[in-house]
Amino acid sequence: MKERKAVTWFTELGLSSVEFYRLVTGEDPPKSGLQILSLGAGLQSSVIGLMACHGEIEKPHAAIFADPQWESAATYEWLTVLDEILLKHGIPLIVVSIGSLPGALVSSARAERERRAQEGRGEDVTTERVWAAPPPLYTVSLRERGCKWPKQIEGQLTLLDVPAADAADDSGDPNGKIRKPMMIDVLGTLGRNCTRTYKIEPIQRAALQLMGFKRASPRRPVTQLLGITTDEAGRMRKPKSKAWINSYPLIDKGMSRGDCAAWLDHHGYKPIPKSSCLGCPFKSNRSLAEDRREDPEAFEATCQVDDEIREGIAGTKAQGLYLHRSARPLRDVYLDDNNESLFDIDCQGVCGV
Ligand code: SF4
């Protein structure tokens, strides 16, 4: 898979975060009272950074972006623009990454296939498991297979069940080229580990590193500015530990997503591309169709990740993993209808929605 990565001054210079902070601000990072912008690089968190540059909110000490290496080219381009703007206003943009999320899924799936092949041939299993922190991948027919581990979301997401009677009439493709939806007995998802592993924890570790500590402590709490707007206030969360304080500047200002777009326009900025992993299972069909139109090569690479995970990844007993909620191969899904993004279910504002 072609490598995708954020390229910013921080990544280019090869300095430690503390050295970079000193270079940009001329000071040492604070040992307490650190305020960071938890940057998802989508509309809301970017607007927080820009409002800080315009003096409309207090400047955070730094912006931190955790790169799952699966963002769109447009988001990576926007990051380089935002990097320059923040830099001019003395806000260092620090990029951290624990590696490629799609790369980890593929490695895990390949190792799992090899392990099963070895088992099938009656050989000793010598292939190591490769653990991945998966997104909430969709899986089907779990009850029949007796798999207890994946979280059942029946009821919560009943729209995902495709009743057999409707399936034949409602495929939606005027040309009749697509496959009919599968008949699904029970549809579920794997637990969602990606956000914590690829976003939340790397950002928190980077904040602690800036201060020079390994562990968070309520004696020196870190404030995280999170990009959540009034129309999605349900995503606000109280941190589990008193070592972290969540701050919601856009909520404090009574701003909705539409207000953020209007703010950008008023200040002469172009619209900010939507940010989230290219293969995020929460994406709407519209968003996936946009990805396919804007960057067919990247969309095909995502389809290949979807193909690779089909038979499972490490730790999954379930067969049939899918990136798309229809539980069909992504490249076969008819994307020109619309459905809602599922980010509203549980996103803490760090996935750039
Ligand atoms: S955008 Fe989606 S796949 Fe990426 S880290 Fe967030 S929830 Fe996971």
- Domains of the chain with bracketed CATH: 9-102+192-275 (3.40.50.620), 142-188 (no CATH)
Question: Alpha carbon 164 to chain centroid distance?
Answer: 32
The Cα-based distances of 67 to 189, 287, 316 in angstroms read: 23, 20, 25
Assess whether the C-beta atom of 198 lies below 6 angstroms from ligand 1.
yes
Rounded Cα–Cα distance for residues 57 and 70 (Å): 30
For residue 160 the two structure tokens come to 């995902």
What's the pLDDT at 209?
A: 97
pLDDT tens sequence for the chain (353 residues): 677 899 999 999 999 999 999 999 999 999 999 999 999 999 999 999 999 999 999 999 999 999 999 999 999 999 999 999 999 999 999 999 999 999 999 999 999 999 999 999 999 999 999 999 999 999 875 443 333 333 444 333 333 333 333 334 444 554 544 434 444 455 778 888 999 999 999 999 999 999 999 999 999 999 999 999 999 999 899 998 999 999 999 999 999 999 999 999 999 999 999 999 999 999 999 999 999 999 999 999 999 999 999 999 998 876 689 999 888 899 999 887 666 555 544 445 566 43
Assess whether the C-beta atom of 195 lies below 6 angstroms from ligand 1.
yes
The Cα-based distances of 221 to 20, 36, 218 in angstroms read: 22, 11, 5
Assess whether the C-beta atom of 282 lies below 6 angstroms from ligand 1.
yes
315 three-state secondary structure? coil
**Is residue 322 within 8 Å of 199, Cβ to Cβ?**
no
37 three-state secondary structure? strand
304 three-state secondary structure? helix
What's the pLDDT at 160?
A: 37
Rounded Cα–Cα distance for residues 136 and 148 (Å): 15
**Is residue 60 within 8 Å of 35, Cβ to Cβ?**
yes
Beta bridge partners of 65: 39, 95
Burial of 305-323, coded b for 16+ CB within 10 Å and e otherwise, reads: bbebbebbbbebebebbbb
What's the pLDDT at 318?
A: 65
189 three-state secondary structure? strand
Beta bridge partners of 224: 36, 246
> How far, in Å, from the CA of 351 to the mean position of ligand 1?
6
> How far, in Å, from the CA of 196 to the mean position of ligand 1?
9
> How far, in Å, from the CA of 133 to the mean position of ligand 1?
10
Assess whether the C-beta atom of 194 lies below 6 angstroms from ligand 1.
yes
Rounded Cα–Cα distance for residues 309 and 298 (Å): 17
> How far, in Å, from the CA of 185 to the mean position of ligand 1?
26
- DSSP E strand stretches across the chain: 35-39, 62-66, 93-96, 138-140, 151-152, 187-189, 222-225, 244-247, 321-322
Rounded Cα–Cα distance for residues 140 and 161 (Å): 10
What's the pLDDT at 172?
A: 52
What's the pLDDT at 308?
A: 96
All residues at 6 or more sequence positions from 328 whose CB lies less than 8 Å from its CB, including other chains: 179, 181, 182, 322
**Atom 4 of ligand 1: nearest residue by CA position:** 277
84 sits in the region (left: phi over 0; alpha: psi -120 to 50; else beta) called alpha
For residue 20 the two structure tokens come to 């970079």
> How far, in Å, from the CA of 3 to the mean position of ligand 1?
18
> How far, in Å, from the CA of 150 to the mean position of ligand 1?
18
Ordered DSSP codes for 232-286: GGGG----SSTTEEEE-HHHHTT--HHHHHHHHHHTTPPPPPP-S-TT-TT--HH
Q: Which atom of ligand 1 is least distant from the CA of 70? A: 4
Residue matched to tokens 């041939």: 121
End-to-end C-alpha distance for the chain, whole angstroms: 25
**Is residue 333 within 8 Å of 181, Cβ to Cβ?**
no
**Is residue 41 within 8 Å of 111, Cβ to Cβ?**
no
Which residue among 45, 283, 322, 351 is best mutated to probe the pocket of ligand 1, counting the most ligand atoms within 8 A of its Cβ? Answer: 351
Rounded Cα–Cα distance for residues 91 and 138 (Å): 39
